[in-house]
Each structure stands twice: as structure tokens, then as C-alpha cells.
Structure 1
Amino acid sequence: MTVDNDPMAEIRASFFIESEELLEALQDGLQLMDDGAADNETINVVFRAVHSIKGGAGAFGLEGLVHFAHRYETVLDEVRAGRLQVETEALKVFFQAADHLSDLVRISRDNDPLPDEETEVLLKALDAFLGDTGPVSGTAEEDIEFQPMGLSLDLDLPVGDTADLPDLDALPPLDLGPVTTTYEITFAPQADLFDTGNEPATLLRNLQQLGTAKVTCDSSRLPPLDQLRPDVPHLSWTVILQTDVEESEIVSIFEFVEGLCQLDIKKQGEPDGSDLPPLPDLPPVEPTIVEHPETLPQTPIEVTPAPPAPVDDPVSTIAAPTQPAQATAPTAAKSVVRVDLDRIERLVNLVGELVINQAMLSQSLEHSGLSPHSDAMSGLEEFQRLTRDIQDSVMMIRAQPVKSLFQRMSRIVREASAAVEKDVRLVTTGEATEVDKTVIERLADPLTHMIRNAVDHGLETKEERLAAGKPAQGKVNLSAAHRSGRVVIEIADDGAGIDRPKVLQLAIDKGLIPPDSNLTDTEIDNLLFLPGFSTAATVSNLSGRGVGMDVVRTSIQALGGRITTTSLPGQGTTFSISLPLTLAVLDGMVIEVAEETLVLPLNLVIETLTLQRGDVEMVRPGRNVVRVRSGFVPLFDLGAALGYRPPLDDFEGSVVLLIANEDETNAALLIDNILDQRQVVIKGLDESFYRAPGIAAATILGDGQIALILDPSDIISTAIPKPGLSQTSSDAGVPA
């Protein structure tokens, strides 16, 4: 019979979730050590992270994970004890071991085959730091082997004839044998121990692996059969263990049941206090009231004095209080509840339906002709406020810091730099920036491509950097920040920058653009995102196949984002990714164009204008600009760009939305009317639909009508002709 709710499966899943948190702490600690800002507590955090993963893996029989974690822990223990100094080479191995430990956790979670060859290579690298001590025991297959020691003495004794003295060098070596200690361990489980899925038999078997153990079960508390309760433990065990390991190794076996059992560990032969003579009984004394008006408060303090002092001593001794007040109150621990992601997704969907129904109710009441000051309209405003608060709260539940994503990029930098033999350092900022979990998950592949390109193409070799007067170590900056209701992620390197003449020539050679193309710097930079374009001379494991940056742009566009490039020759290149904070709900402006209802993201709209005669100037046929105070902004007819109607000839009285582009420029969108401003639920278009340029998603309005959500940046970039550029798949199919 199959049990749907297996408690052990839930506990095992919790272990892997906790392992992710421990691996994150491990990476943070190693990064501090690499930055030279580590202290003893940082080293302890790193050690405890590996030790905790090992202990949890042992409870579930994950021997491969336990074996590697134990050897890694052994080397870290040498660092913690001060016997091993952490240098650059050691940190490289430590980072590689942390990456491999993360892989082993994932592989163990998915029950995939273990990478034994990679494990052995890293184990040899770790063992190299142990020197002559070799790997230290801690598992059944890693027993300590003590080699016999040869003793030689050179004694200068005042004797006349040494002929009869034995030759000490010829004596057989003295075999001291392993140093064993006998421990007496008393173990009594509590009821909570079984609730967590732990088994005493597993703990006792782990003890037997440490040495020779004699286990005795105490069943004296076992009640009669008719009074026996299966949820109450009645047994306890006493283990006499002869082992050569430290007591801390024994304690680590019971680490995951701490507080769930009664545990007593003591060495045999140590005094336990039972043989000490009893203390003499002190004579009873009467309480004494002592008053010192000059130094004490007026309320008398009742104290119990020490044994009576001599009579001629007039000074009374005041006993200290038994419970001194703490100087500072302890900080309350933050409680965390782990919730299945599917439950959160259902909650988000329900909030989306709530927003839609609130819009329907609002529209119905507005059409009913009620006074804005009526009780119904006041209740609607309160309902709208509560809906917004609920939506914000749910979005905060889905939001996660980008720290976990950035830590993965640290590994990509280490692997990529090793593959191309470059010394590269990753510097991250804004790791606490929160983004929708779905956005984080779908950003991993684009960031991986861009980080690898920065290491492979962006940064020069060590010799080239030194010749250019730069440090031998290249640097890649990865940052995240909130700007104008969006999240901006930047990948910047301090390399040579984009070689634009080379990029232009490669694009011509590959037939991507005509030979007589005359492109601006921005247009040349955009060539990097064309399908099939690559600047790599040869195909390698990192790049050269011409699919990386095209995949990046496609992935970012699928998230409703944009990517821009900034490059300075000799100083480096920066790629900026602008993304929405969430993929669920947004504040939108509902507009009308050619009798079609559309939605624009409200955070992109700077202001609205009504055109007057003389506000629009034609710079060339089909290209107009609108006067905005002391400057001019390019004007785009939204209805014509989307193919809804022919371009307008008369602009007087038309409504214009001033839009902020991601390159910090502005543009003006010509529309027919502004209908409303409200929250809308984002409904992604199925992949079977054609993705028209400028269309990001769709939504359901209050009257049940489906409206398209526009991407103004895509509309503007599509409407601007690219001189000399052949039409690519990204702008194909745009209505003329």
C-alpha cells in the first residue's frame, strides 16, 4: 500500500531545503575569506555548514555525500584549529569543493548517479592540505592507522665502559597501538524524537561504527501490555563504547536530535562526584534586615548572610541576588514558515481574480449613476484599497533576493576563468534586491551566457592587461537595483570594450548587413544580438556558436524586459537588463487607439499632453517631432505602428503620452483617448500565439473585455528604421 503523506519524505525534503540555506552560508563565508575580511566566527560558520550537511546526509544514508563532506570538514577543521593557513590556492580548492558539495546535494535529492571521478579529484586536492596527517577518520571505512614509531636515544652517561650496554638503535620499534577511550553513553528518547522521523536504531548503529560498542537496553519502565502506549517511549539504552575518536564526534551523531532526548556522555574512570564526601550542614540562621539610608533605597532588603563573622566585626555581608538582571534583552529570533510554491501560486491567482472582480464591480457602480459621495462608492474605494494591500502583500511573499542567483554566477566565473586561463574576480552589489521568484528562475540562463561572454570576450589576457597598464586580474561587476518600478541588473567588465570595426566587418562577412551599411555605435552594438553572430575565432566550450546573445535577448524579451549595451574602448562594456518587478499584476493606463482598448505600464508614462497647432514639426517624410517645453521629442503614431489605421495628418487636439525609454531618452506616443488608470492582471500569451512586436501580454478588463498590454520600448525600437540593416526575425511582420 502506498502512503501519500510519507513523513520521512517530508523530512527528507526539509533537509534539502535546509541544505540550500547552509550552502548559501558556506558561499558567503568563503567569499569573506577570499576578501580577507574573515574572522574566527566566519571560519566556524563555514565549518558548521559543511558539518551540518554531513550530519543530515548521514541520517538518510547518503553515503557519497557524507564521505565527501567529511573530508571537506576535516580540512576546514585544520583551518579552524590554526594548523592550516588559508592562501589563494587553498581558497580556490575550497570554492571548488563547495561547488561540488552543492552538486552532490542536488544529485542526492534527484537520486542521480554520483560523479565519482570528479569527487576523487577533489578529495585528492583536499587531502594535499593535510600533509602527512592524511585523511582523518570519522566514518566506518576511514579508520586511523597508527604506524609503529622507532625510538632512538643519544645519552651521554658518565660511565667508563659502554660495551655491555645494548644497542638502542637495534631494538625493535615500540608499538604503542591506537589510543582508545571508553565512554559510557546513556540515551533515552522523548516522544518528539519519533515525530521528527528519527530512529534510535539508526543512532545506535552510527555509534557502533565509531568503535567497539556494547549496547544494553533498559526496559524497566516498560508498563504492562494493557497499559502500553505506542506514542510514549519507555526504553532507554546504555552504550559502553571503546573508540579512538574525540567526544565531539560522538556528540555530532546526536546533533539532529538535540533537545529531543536525554543524553549523557562521560569517560569511564572520570569522577562523577558520587565519591566526594558530603558537605557539612550549615547551622540555620535568622534573616537579617540591613538598612543603609545613604546608599540603598528606603525599602529594606531582606538578605541571608554568610556564616557568622567574629563578634568584633561590625560589618555585615550582603548576599548577591541569585538571578541578576540581564544588561540587554535577547533579540527575538525570526520565525520562518516554509510554504509549498504551488500554494503561493494559487494564492496569486486568487488575488488576480479578486483584482478582476473589483474592476468589474467598480465599472458596474460607475455605470449605475450613483453619486461619488454615496455609501456604495465609499465602500468601493475601501474595497479597492484593501485589494491593493492584499496584492502588495502577496507579491512580497513571491519576492526573493537575487543573492542566490548571484552566488550561482560566482561559480560560473570560476569555471569560465579556469577554462580560458584568466584571473577573474566577480564583484556583486545589491544582492538584497528583491525580485519575483519567477523572474529569478528565468534569469539564470541569460546571466550565465553574459557572464561567460564577459570572461571570454570582454576581458583581455593577463599579458594584454599588463601591457595596457591594467591590473593582471580582470573584474566583472554584477549589480541589481530598483529603478522607477523596475529592477535593473547590470553586468560590467573592465576589459577592452567592444571592437566596433571588427563587429561591423564580421556582420558584413556573415551577410547579416549590406557591405555599404553606415551604422551608429548603438546600432553596431545591437549586432551582437543578431542570430548567428559571434566574434569568437574558434568554437570552444564557452562560446563561438553564435547562439548566446540572441538567446539572451529572446529570454529577456519573454520576461517583458529590455537589454541595452554601453561600451568604451579600453575601459570595458556594460550590459543593462531592465525587468518588471513581478509577472502577475501591474499598474496600467487603459487607453483607446482606433477604437481598440489597450493597456500601457503606468511606470513608463511621464506625463500626458494635448497637442495644439504648431506643436508638431516634420523632420522628414514620415518622421515627426513634438515640442515639449524647450526641446523636441520624437513622435510615434501608435495606431499606425500597430497597423490599426493609416498615419494621421492633423495632430491638433490629439492626446500624447510622454514615455521614458530605458536609455534615459524620451519618446511621445500618439493615442486617441485615455480611459482609465487601474491595476490589471497579467495574462501571458501562449507560445502557440504569434508574438507581435510591441505586445507584451494580455489582461481582462472589468467588463470582461480582453485588452493587450503594450511594450512601448519595443514599439519605438521597431518603428525606428535601422539604416542598412536587413530585416531580422525580431522585427519581421511589423505592419507597415
Structure 2
Amino acid sequence: MSDSETVFREEAAEHLENLEQALLCLDATPDDAEQINIAFRAMHTIKGSSGMVGFDHLSEFTHHLETLFERVRSGRLGLTAEIINLVLECKDQIDGLLRSPMPESGQIESSLALVGRLQQFTEGPNPVAAQQTNTDSGDQSAGSGCYSILVRPSESAFTDGMDVLPLIRELQGLGACGLSLRLAGAPEDPELCALELQVLIITDAGENALRDVFLFVCEDWQIDLHPLSPDAFRHNLDRLSAAGWLTDDNARALHALVPAAAPDRPQASDQQALRPTSAEQTSNASRVVESELSIKVPQRKLDALMDQVGELVILQARLDQLAISREDESIGELAEELDRLSNNLRETTFDIRMLPIGSTFGRFRRLVRDLSRELGKNVALETAGAGTELDKVVLDKLADPLVHLLRNSLDHGIEMPETRLAAGKPEKGTIRLEAAHEQGRIIIRISDDGAGLDVARILEKARKNGLVPEDVTPDTDAIYNLIFEPGFSTAARVSDVSGRGVGMDVVRTSIESLQGRVQLQSEPGEGTVITISLPMTLAIIDGLMVAVSGERFVIPLSVVDECIETRASESSRENGSRLVKHRDGLVPSLRLREWFAVAGQQPDIEQTVIVHVDKERFGITVDEVIGHSQTVIKSLGRLYRDAEGVMGATILGNGGIAMILDVAELIDDINSTAV
């Protein structure tokens, strides 16, 4: 795949996302001029750029969409739910067409069917009064205007696979054109592009429509566009014709179309039209510098950068160890400086990898809209905390669990409209999706105002599946957690939405693979709340290094509250758990030596690290607390992957290995085995 195709696909995906979000907004407010323009520009850009990189079928297909929204923009066609549904289907079709410049026969047939449905709106009678209004703010299209456009492609245009002909065809579709294509120089390398295109055009489309033609190339190519007075336009026509760049017939045809009166807009001289001044070039460059530039970087490069930062952190730990062992002040100073630089580099790399969760929230609006209509329900999706940032790796793996949870809320949680009305609820149900930072972790909550979980039905199904003995009745929370068991489902029938018993099991497995936790609360008749707690990153964390008989362990610093001294004489149960005094109460504690069966002499005075998970406090008793440590998380091999209470390992400065504790899993294991 060429670089130009890769860039095109990436940018087209962004435009499609903008198109979908605009359509979902228009579903509620069909007269929103701003959203109409966003949708139009998305389709216009995809149409122009797809033709330039050889996606001719996609360019032709998107042209029909652009025509439809041009009628909407001009006020000649009113948006309806039927049109929005059709455009959403077309958006899905474009998703498929982006995969290859040469679509399969089935895709072509689908495109033709959709084009036929589009033409019912683009070629039929206008359902809205044809009063021409321009909704594009800042557009200057009062009558025919004269413009000069100088286009200089980048030197790499040929090797990038760019084609200037689609731009020429699009300009010709906007008005009467005079075109002059010439060489701006003689490059030594024949693969370098030295073309220069001079366009004189008369159009009533407006300046913004002309600039939209060059949206895909405006950052790399030089585009100088100027409105001209009628006299300046005629003068430029005569100069190009005399130089042999325009045919006499072309020049005469354009002369006949020049408006008699000058439009009310700033005019440029004939010299400015044919060549930009150095002052204008400087001004254009300064505008680029003033705006914050951004670049796209493949994720594999970010992952490689994070790996290198991790190796740097390990090297810094080795240098610290060397400075301590040799008691050398000069090495110690170097270690401190490296520590400062590695910390700054780590934070900068984290910032690069962090993305707002709103980029994931946005895709769920379409899911809720389509699925609620399929189920015959009236459901609104509310979101909060869209600006909350987390690691892109975590964000990508979070999408599927959230889809399962939303589908379950729609299918099992929200009642049918008539049922809600009979229960005294609003006909429209609400699902709320929110995110926030809490105590160094990401908290995501999915809540609905539906019927809540049916405890009796869940217990009956669990007993039928052999998950709960007939003579045992678990507490309510334990019954709720049964829905996370593999193969469990309370659906009366299997459908495309639910009933196969894989959704909630997948959710828990996916969240736990991210070192996260999922909790469930429900009130019958009032709704359900599912809370997901996740680390902000899976690469490098701040940890508290502890030791047991020379064996090192790391406790994530985000869950540590304080450290206290305890006596070894306090006995433990068989599973290593006990109670320790903490302030004015008792806190359950786990002796790490006994839990992992670490050999060695137990000290008389031990250290207990008080940690928290959600609102629950717990103690982890060790021989020694060593101190703060930047911890690079390394995955465990298959032999140790199922080790309870361990989320990974890290490499120490002396080359040894320290296990990173999964505090939440330790607490769950102790609670489940407590007598």
C-alpha cells in the first residue's frame, strides 16, 4: 500500500466519524446548519481525495452523497429520519469501499442500489421551497464571482501517487474555467513534480467551495486563491491567451461570462493573481507556525518508544544500584540526573499515548440509536467525562466490553415503552456512560434507569445450570455476580442481541486482562450500575518495593495508604490472613511470606502496608519496605500466567526479578477463603 493510500484511509476514517456524529446530531435537530456543513465537508473531502489516489468507484459513489447534502445546505431538501438512515447506510458502504481501490462485484451492486435510493431525493421534486440560502458561514457567493487560483503541487506529488486531474474536473464542475498547465522549472530528478497550474474561473459557488476542492492537499501543495475584479480578470485572460496558454475560443467564452459589475469583495491586482508576493508567502507561513501543528504516528512506533523508555528506567535502576554499592558520589550524581531525565521522558511519552475516552464514547451513539429502534424501545444515551484520558492500549481493549454492556442494558435493562409508562416512568429510557479519574485510576460507570436485575430469576437459572446448589441461597451481591459466569444468560430466547451467554463473561475476562475490576449494583425497578476500575496505563507504574527474605515484590503505589509496624507474634490463619490494629480499628491483613510460601527467618518486627481497593482497606505484611520504585511491567510467561495475586513482573537494577502484586485479586482470594 502506498503512503498516499495509507494517509487517505486514515483521514477518510476521521471524516466518516465526523459524518456519523453530525448525522446523529441532525437526527435530533435536523435544521442545525453547523452539523449540515460538517457532514457536507466530510463527504466532499472524501470524494475529492478518493479520486486523487485512484479510488474512482468510491469517488463516484460519494459524489451522489455530496449532491444530496448540497440540496440540504441550499434549503431545497429537508432532512428526514428516512434520509438520515439512508446516509448512515451509505457511510457503512464507504467503510467497506475504503479497503480496496477495486471493489468486488457485490460491493458495486450495493453501491448502485444505494445510489438509486439517493437519486429519489436528488432528482425528484423539492419538498421544501426552493429559496436559495447559503448556510456556510463566511461564504461569499452573492452572484457570479471571478477568481484566480495558482496551484503548485509538492515535488513528491508523482511519487505519492497524486493526480491533479480530479481537481481540474471538480473545478470545472463549479463554473467556467480557463486552465493553464506549465512547467515551473526543470528538476534534475525526473520523478520530481515541477508542474504549475493557473486557473481562471467564474463561479457562483463562493470562495469556500473553491477552497474545499483542495482540502486534501492544502497542507502539502501551494494553493494561492484570489478574488478578481472583472477588469483584472479580463486582463489576465488576455495575458494567458497572448502567451499561448489559453485557446482563443476558451478566452472568448470566458470574456462573455465576466459580470459587468464588480462583486462587493476585496479585489486583487492582475500581478497578485498570477504570482503571490513574497509578503503573502511570509504571511501564509506565519499562519502555519502560529497554529499548533500535529502529526500522525503509527501505534507500533509509540509502542517501540514506550519499550525504550522502559529499558531506560531499568538501566537507571542499575545505575542507582551501582552508585550505592560503590559509595561513589560522582556516580550518584549521574544517577540522580539520569533519574530526572528518565522521569521527564516517561511523563512525556505517557502524554503522547494518552487519548480522551470521548473518542470511544462517540461510536456508541450509533449503536444505541440503531439497536433501540431494532428492539422497539425509546432510549437516550447520555455521556459525561469525555475528556478523561487513558492509555491508548487500554482504550482500544476497552471498546468491546463497553459494547457488550451497552447491548445488555438496552436488551435486558430498559423496558418497552408501554411497560415503562405502566410503571410510572418516562417513555424514553436513559443509559448514562461516564468516566473520571479517581485515586490514580480510571473509573467508568454504565448506568440505566431500567427494571434492574431479577434476583429470583438469576438464582433459578443458576441452579438450573448447576452453578448454585439447591440448598444454598447466596447473598444478593453474590447472585448478581453470577451473571459473569461463562454461559450464563437469563434471556428467554437467543437473538442477534443476546441470549448466548457469552457477553458478560467476555466483559469480566477483558477487564481483568487490563488489571481492572468490574462491580455491579442494582435496584429492582430503578436500574443497574456497572462500575469498571482500570489503571491509567499498562506499561510503567509507580510502585512501592517491599522484600520478604530477600525476595522482592512491588505494590502499585496508587493503592498504598501508609505503612505501619506489626509484631510477628500475631498468628495467622492457614491462608496467611489475620487482623492487625490500625488506628482505632482492626484491618484484615495478609502475610506475604505465608501466602507465597517464602522460606527464611521471620523478623520479630514486620512492616504492614495498608492498601485500599474501592472503599475496602487491607494490609499486606512484609519483612521490609524498601521504598518508591518506577516499575516497568513485563508480562509473565505461560507457566506463571495463572498465578494468583500477581499481575506481572519487573526487572531490578541488579538483574533480578520482582513480582508485581495484583492487590484486588489478593483481597478477593482472601475474602473467598475466609472462614
Q: Please state which band the TM-score falls in when normalised by the shorter chain.
A: 0.7 to 0.9
Aligned residue for 2:424, secondary structure, equals: coil
Q: Which deviates more, 37-46 or 521-530? A: 37-46
Relative to 1, partners in 2 of residues 1:330 and 1:408: Cα closer, same or farther, differing over 3 Å? Answer: closer
Aligned residue for 2:627, secondary structure, equals: strand
Q: Give the match for residue 347 of structure 1.
A: 305
How is 1:54-65 mapped onto 2 (pairs within 5 angstroms)? 54-65=47-58
State yes or no: 1:335 paired with 2:296.
Answer: no
1:348-399: CA deviations, max 9, x gaps? 11111110010011112112235xxx45434422321221111010111111
How is 1:155-170 mapped onto 2 (pairs within 5 angstroms)? none
Aligned residue for 1:51, secondary structure, equals: helix
Relative to 1, partners in 2 of residues 1:633 and 1:352: Cα closer, same or farther, differing over 3 Å? Answer: same
State yes or no: 1:20 paired with 2:13.
Answer: yes
Relative to 1, partners in 2 of residues 1:119 and 1:544: Cα closer, same or farther, differing over 3 Å? Answer: farther
State yes or no: 1:192 paired with 2:154.
Answer: yes
Q: Is the 8 A contact 1:193 1:261 kept in 2?
A: no
Q: Is the 8 A contact 2:633 2:649 kept in 1?
A: yes
Q: Is the 8 A contact 1:534 1:546 kept in 2?
A: yes
Q: Give the match for residue 365 of structure 2.
A: 410
1:607-641: CA deviations, max 9, x gaps? 11112599x79999986333322333222233333
- In structure 2, how many angstroms separate the alpha carbons of the residues matched to 1:546 and 1:347? 40
State yes or no: 1:66 paired with 2:20.
Answer: no
Q: 2:473 aligns with which of 506, 509, 518?
A: 518
Q: Give the match for residue 714 of structure 1.
A: 665
Q: Give the match for residue 607 of structure 2.
A: 655
Aligned residue for 1:133, secondary structure, equals: coil
Aligned residue for 2:362, secondary structure, equals: helix
- In structure 1, how many angstroms separate the alpha carbons of the residues matched to 2:31 and 2:313? 49
Q: Which deviates more, 423-432 or 188-197? A: 188-197
Q: 1:49 aligns with which of 22, 39, 42?
A: 42
Q: Is the 8 A contact 1:186 1:236 kept in 2?
A: no
Q: CA deviation at 1:420?
A: 2.1
Q: Is the 8 A contact 1:400 1:437 kept in 2?
A: yes
1:105-158: CA deviations, max 9, x gaps? 4x34897776456656655665565583389xxxxxxxxxxxxxxxxxxxxxxx
Q: Is the 8 A contact 1:189 1:233 kept in 2?
A: no
Relative to 1, partners in 2 of residues 1:425 and 1:481: Cα closer, same or farther, differing over 3 Å? Answer: same
Q: Is the 8 A contact 1:619 1:625 kept in 2?
A: no
Q: Is the 8 A contact 2:610 2:618 kept in 1?
A: yes
Runs of 5+ unmatched residues, structure 2: 128-143, 228-232, 234-253, 263-286
Q: Give the match for residue 635 of structure 1.
A: 589
Relative to 1, partners in 2 of residues 1:485 and 1:228: Cα closer, same or farther, differing over 3 Å? Answer: closer
State yes or no: 1:605 paired with 2:555.
Answer: no
State yes or no: 1:401 paired with 2:352.
Answer: no
- In structure 2, how many angstroms separate the alpha carbons of the residues matched to 1:53 and 1:408? 20
- The RMSD of aligned alpha carbons is 4.3
- In structure 1, how many angstroms separate the alpha carbons of the residues matched to 2:37 and 2:426? 33
Q: CA deviation at 1:236?
A: 5.7
1:34-71: CA deviations, max 9, x gaps? 55497433322222122111211122232443344333
How is 1:90-489 mapped onto 2 (pairs within 5 angstroms)? 90-105=83-98, 107-108=99-100, 115=107, 119=111, 123=115, 126=118, 132-133=124-125, 189-192=151-154, 195=157, 197-204=161-168, 231=192, 233=194, 256=216, 260=222, 267-271=254-258, 332-370=290-328, 374-489=329-444
Relative to 1, partners in 2 of residues 1:637 and 1:126: Cα closer, same or farther, differing over 3 Å? Answer: farther
- Structure having the larger proportion of residues in helix: 2
Once the two structures are aligned, what percentage of the paired residues are identical? Answer: 34
User: Match for 2:623: what amino acid?
Assistant: D
Q: Is the 8 A contact 2:556 2:661 kept in 1?
A: yes
Q: CA deviation at 1:574?
A: 1.3
- In structure 2, how many angstroms separate the alpha carbons of the residues matched to 1:548 and 1:88? 31
1:457-478: CA deviations, max 9, x gaps? 1111111111111122222111
- In structure 2, how many angstroms separate the alpha carbons of the residues matched to 1:273 and 1:338? 48
User: Match for 1:66: what amino acid?
Assistant: S
State yes or no: 1:80 paired with 2:80.
Answer: no
Q: CA deviation at 1:720?
A: 1.7
- In structure 2, how many angstroms separate the alpha carbons of the residues matched to 1:109 and 1:559? 37
1:672-719: CA deviations, max 9, x gaps? 221232101111124565422211111101111111111011111122
Aligned residue for 1:417, secondary structure, equals: helix
User: Match for 2:605: what amino acid?
Assistant: G
Aligned residue for 2:290, secondary structure, equals: coil
Q: CA deviation at 1:414?
A: 2.7
Q: Give the match for residue 149 of structure 1.
A: none
User: Match for 2:50: what amino acid?
Assistant: A
State yes or no: 1:11 paired with 2:4.
Answer: yes
Q: Is the 8 A contact 2:145 2:206 kept in 1?
A: no
TM-score scaled by structure 1? Answer: 0.72
Relative to 1, partners in 2 of residues 1:100 and 1:522: Cα closer, same or farther, differing over 3 Å? Answer: farther
Q: Is the 8 A contact 1:537 1:544 kept in 2?
A: yes
Q: Is the 8 A contact 2:592 2:620 kept in 1?
A: yes
Q: CA deviation at 1:529?
A: 0.9
- In structure 2, how many angstroms separate the alpha carbons of the residues matched to 1:127 and 1:336? 39
Q: Is the 8 A contact 1:348 1:394 kept in 2?
A: yes
Q: CA deviation at 1:495?
A: 0.8
Q: Is the 8 A contact 2:171 2:210 kept in 1?
A: yes
Q: Is the 8 A contact 2:434 2:445 kept in 1?
A: yes
Q: 1:668 aligns with which of 579, 598, 619?
A: 619
Q: 1:508 aligns with which of 437, 460, 463?
A: 463
Q: 1:552 aligns with which of 507, 511, 526?
A: 507
Q: Give the match for residue 292 of structure 1.
A: none
User: Match for 1:269: what amino acid?
Assistant: A
User: Match for 1:368: what amino acid?
Assistant: R
Q: CA deviation at 1:645?
A: 6.7
Runs of 5+ unmatched residues, structure 1: 1-5, 136-181, 276-328, 725-736
User: Match for 1:693: what amino acid?
Assistant: E
Q: Is the 8 A contact 1:611 1:651 kept in 2?
A: no
Q: Is the 8 A contact 2:652 2:658 kept in 1?
A: yes
TM-score scaled by structure 2? Answer: 0.78
- In structure 2, how many angstroms separate the alpha carbons of the residues matched to 1:86 and 1:274? 37
User: Match for 1:402: what amino acid?
Assistant: I
Q: 2:453 aligns with which of 486, 490, 498?
A: 498
Q: Give the match for residue 731 of structure 1.
A: none
Relative to 1, partners in 2 of residues 1:79 and 1:213: Cα closer, same or farther, differing over 3 Å? Answer: closer
Q: Give the match for residue 528 of structure 1.
A: 483
Relative to 1, partners in 2 of residues 1:473 and 1:126: Cα closer, same or farther, differing over 3 Å? Answer: farther
User: Match for 2:337: what amino acid?
Assistant: E
User: Match for 2:629: what amino acid?
Assistant: R
User: Match for 2:607: what amino acid?
Assistant: V
User: Match for 2:73: what amino acid?
Assistant: R
Q: 2:519 aligns with which of 564, 567, 588?
A: 564
- In structure 1, how many angstroms separate the alpha carbons of the residues matched to 2:320 and 2:187? 67
- In structure 2, how many angstroms separate the alpha carbons of the residues matched to 1:575 and 1:337? 37
> Over alpha carbons, which structure has the higher Rg?
1
Q: Is the 8 A contact 2:401 2:506 kept in 1?
A: yes
- In structure 1, how many angstroms separate the alpha carbons of the residues matched to 2:444 and 2:418? 30
User: Match for 1:56: what amino acid?
Assistant: S
- In structure 2, how many angstroms separate the alpha carbons of the residues matched to 1:252 and 1:414? 31
Q: Which deviates more, 554-563 or 72-81? A: 72-81
Relative to 1, partners in 2 of residues 1:368 and 1:41: Cα closer, same or farther, differing over 3 Å? Answer: same
User: Match for 2:345: what amino acid?
Assistant: I
Q: Is the 8 A contact 1:617 1:625 kept in 2?
A: no
